[in-house]
């Protein structure tokens, strides 16, 4: 019985984990947002969100910059390097970077770290 609970819990974590459900919802809204997206502005804002302008987005874009990415799990797109928190997030980003960026609400520079460390 305990093993079944562990398996169910792991399955739920995989299904609902980091960025797991967000890519499947709001398809039409995301498509419309992507069409109107100023990709260069979002890329620049995401780059600067960690307080440095180095063409590296250190926080996971799939998770809305809400958690640190890993330098071992990266994607490169339009001259920017994106760190991802998991292989799942990397795959989602690689599938459709514009869709991921269209969902992104980039806070002002310096606010990302403060938000992540707040209780």
pTM: 0.64
- How far is it, in rounded angstroms, from Cα 29 to Cα 8? 32
pLDDT digits (tens, 9 = 90+) for 46-60: 998 888 899 999 999
C-beta separation of 113 from 50 below 8 A: yes
For 39-68, what is the mean pLDDT?
A: 91
C-beta separation of 11 from 20 below 8 A: no
Q: Hey, which of 29-38, 41-50, 84-93, 110-119 has the most confident mean pLDDT?
A: 84-93
C-beta separation of 92 from 19 below 8 A: yes
pLDDT digits (tens, 9 = 90+) for 76-114: 999 999 999 999 999 999 999 999 999 988 766 555 444
């Amino acid at each position: 019985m305990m093993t079944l609970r562990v398996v169910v819990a792991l399955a739920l974590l995989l299904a609902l984990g980091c960025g797991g459900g967000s890519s499947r919802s709001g398809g039409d809204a995301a498509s419309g947002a992507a069409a109107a997206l100023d990709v260069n502005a979002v890329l620049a804002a995401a780059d600067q969100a960690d307080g440095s302008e180095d063409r590296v987005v250190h926080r996971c874009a799939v998770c809305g910059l809400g958690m640190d990415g890993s330098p071992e799990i990266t994607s490169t797109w339009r001259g920017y390097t994106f760190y991802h928190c998991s292989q799942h997030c990397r795959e989602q980003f690689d599938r459709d970077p514009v869709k991921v960026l269209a969902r992104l609400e980039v806070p002002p520079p310096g606010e990302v770290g403060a938000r992540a460390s707040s209780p």
